[in-house]
Structure 1
């Protein structure tokens, strides 16, 4: 087994040789996107492009974990497989052939880069075996990453660390963010239901109006973060859906609001959940109504391992990439389930240069980003392969 230092130059040279085939794979995957929960076709296409593995374990319904490089403790790299329900408007010859479905979050780029790395490790060897994690359902619930963790396949495969890379249009092309600590927020959905007593809109004094009560609740919730959370930390609470009644002259009996709440710290997450329920109930009662808050817990915060980030930084620079250590966002990614269980590193790879934003119908990173993502994954892999 070679050392990470000895492996870097050989792997980087072989990785460069694998990029043209990886770009072709990216085009094929982009043209045939699969929705969340139905990724078997994408999985099989990627499996066919990988070198002959030492073992394939199906997981999370349509996912797979593939071992490259023999037995023993291994480093995992994650590739997400699902596309988004977005109609494509890029105009390229390899645009989506499936109306209303598109790789608008870069998963086609990530998968192609993972394959390039796996083929390079297979061809020239590496300091540790590589586990290719083909993950379903990154974009929807139930989370594919969470299911992979719960099934225990990574423990059985002696995983010692997990590495991921995600294209990011907030960064310039050629730059990679390798930020230690929390880089993405937890993400939880909530529903506020206010119940009153409806009636004729001409006689509001004979009703307990849940619409008015909900309006007060929404305003109170929107100001909650500034008075319940330390201003030096980040929490986002957004009410995005309001629903009540269906007739202009009828005060309905119930009104609902839905939204999202995100936090960078577990303590803040717990605090905001508790205060939301308290505030909604008290404000609704002041209007003669009752309120309850239901919270659906989503991804935890994504916490990059400090040692991995430090070890990967010089390796990224050796690959000719600019490195920053400041990108954090209230976005979320279920890669965080891996970071809860294993030392993990999520790298953000810049795409800026005309590319639209993530989840946009015109989002189309340059093919050059396949190389950048592959180099980022290689740096993370080598960093995780260093002796403990």
Structure 2
């Protein structure tokens, strides 16, 4: 008899109800920070819980099973401020809100797995982590970690699954190490001395200095980062000046910093600051650099990955171990504190993430639930739970 056959059979039985719930969640999405209604819908759909701890304002952590080390699975509650264009009967009834990132799929999969495990007497307790504010700051995952509930509930490992249209249907990425980048933002302000454009020698041109800073920043990745490492430094906005015949005395630029290792992340911060300050000085200007830290690198635990990959293959899913992205996900706050794995599940004929037409299929819900259950089962043989700082 197939190992854990009763759990897999229970999952198949609970998937139809989970699909209906997915449609209900999709029809009435909640934006980041306003997820209370979605949270209550999901809590009502979950099986009887040992405990429910409401955290991060609109989130919750639900224990299913007795005390002792538990395996956590995450479902994100929030939708995006996107006007839906799918045309399905269960499209969003809210004009400027849509589950365009698959969070409705993830929630339905979490519910199906929780019900299946409860019906079959789970081999280890389950923690259902209902996370708000995945799409905005401040991060809901960070707030949950900082709350200390994962330590209190003895979370031994965290499992996440995310639909990914870059993969084909039936394919699941289970990749060790860094799979999503750290994500930071920077602001550079250059101060010079304004004046009439006919007398440039009496000014310190902040716009000219900023222009050279922007160009120099584009060389950071190619000349300062190890070619075997992945990183992005991108200047996304620049503003200066107000008149054609006035040299700007102030210029401002903003941009993004992405890296797949903490070491590269630190290096990028240092180089942006050095370049801005020294180029500004060369133009008799000054520069201030402000870096806003976002999510850390999302690191998949190698031992967990090996165990989960075996489970995925046993279920007939095609496993790849080389999908990495400089996109970011605040699941990384979980992986920063305890053994974790984020799985990426290929979708059928769906548009890109965050687009108005993004609409995973029912089969995508089924495969996401299968991936989460494989993650749970793979984590059972993991080492004793790591200490989670409270």
| Whole-Å separation in 2 of the counterparts to 1:254 and 1:304 | 43
State the 1:318 CA deviation.
Answer: 2.1
Q: Let me know the Cα RMSD of the aligned residues.
A: 1.3
State the 1:213 CA deviation.
Answer: 1.1
Is 2:175 the partner of 1:179? yes
State the 1:60 CA deviation.
Answer: 0.7
Which secondary structure state, in structure 1, belongs to the residue aligned with residue 276 of structure 2? Answer: helix
Is 2:365 the partner of 1:374? no
State the 1:101 CA deviation.
Answer: 1.1
Give per-residue Cα distances to partners, 1:43-89, cap 9 Å, x unaligned: 01100111111110001111000011222210000111111111111
Q: Of residues 222, 227, 233 in structure 1, which corresponds to 2:223?
A: 227
Which secondary structure state, in structure 2, belongs to the residue aligned with residue 71 of structure 1? Answer: coil
State the 1:308 CA deviation.
Answer: 0.7
Q: Of residues 145, 169, 173 in structure 2, which corresponds to 1:149?
A: 145
| Whole-Å separation in 2 of the counterparts to 1:249 and 1:106 | 51
Q: Of residues 233, 240, 260 in structure 1, which corresponds to 2:236?
A: 240
Q: Of residues 127, 130, 134 in structure 2, which corresponds to 1:131?
A: 127
> Does the CA contact (< 8 Å) of 2:303 and 2:382 recur in 1?
no
> Does the CA contact (< 8 Å) of 1:69 and 1:121 recur in 2?
no
State the 1:214 CA deviation.
Answer: 0.8
| Whole-Å separation in 2 of the counterparts to 1:107 and 1:53 | 22
Give the corresponding residue for 2:109: 113
Indicate the larger mover: 7-16 or 129-138. Answer: 7-16
Which secondary structure state, in structure 2, belongs to the residue aligned with residue 238 of structure 1? Answer: strand
> Does the CA contact (< 8 Å) of 1:7 and 1:127 recur in 2?
no
Give the corresponding residue for 1:357: 352
| Whole-Å separation in 2 of the counterparts to 1:102 and 1:201 | 49
Q: Of residues 46, 53, 58 in structure 2, which corresponds to 1:62?
A: 58
| Whole-Å separation in 2 of the counterparts to 1:117 and 1:286 | 61
Alignment TM-score, normalising by the size of structure 1: 0.96
Count of residue correspondences: 383
| Whole-Å separation in 1 of the counterparts to 2:246 and 2:94 | 43
Give per-residue Cα distances to partners, 1:165-199, cap 9 Å, x unaligned: 00001100110001111111111111111111123
Pair 155,256 (structure 1): closer, same or farther in 2 beyond 3 Å: same
| Whole-Å separation in 2 of the counterparts to 1:246 and 1:359 | 35
| Whole-Å separation in 2 of the counterparts to 1:73 and 1:312 | 18
Give the corresponding residue for 1:271: 267
| Whole-Å separation in 1 of the counterparts to 2:310 and 2:267 | 38
Matches within 5 A, 1:250-289: 250-289=246-285
Give the corresponding residue for 1:75: 71
Give per-residue Cα distances to partners, 1:320-360, cap 9 Å, x unaligned: 21111110111111101101111101000001x42111111
State the 1:253 CA deviation.
Answer: 2.3
Which secondary structure state, in structure 2, belongs to the residue aligned with residue 35 of structure 1? Answer: coil
Moved over 4 A (4+): none
| Whole-Å separation in 1 of the counterparts to 2:22 and 2:237 | 36
Give the corresponding residue for 2:388: none
Indicate the larger mover: 249-258 or 164-173. Answer: 249-258
Unaligned 5+ residue runs, structure 1?
none
State the 1:204 CA deviation.
Answer: 3.2
| Whole-Å separation in 2 of the counterparts to 1:337 and 1:261 | 18
Give per-residue Cα distances to partners, 1:124-156, cap 9 Å, x unaligned: 111101000000111111111111111100000
Pair 331,387 (structure 1): closer, same or farther in 2 beyond 3 Å: closer
Which secondary structure state, in structure 2, belongs to the residue aligned with residue 269 of structure 1? Answer: helix
Unaligned 5+ residue runs, structure 2?
384-390
State the 1:251 CA deviation.
Answer: 2.9
Matches within 5 A, 1:184-203: 184-203=180-199
| Whole-Å separation in 2 of the counterparts to 1:251 and 1:92 | 54
> Does the CA contact (< 8 Å) of 1:74 and 1:161 recur in 2?
yes
Give the corresponding residue for 1:52: 48
Q: Of residues 298, 310, 316 in structure 2, which corresponds to 1:320?
A: 316
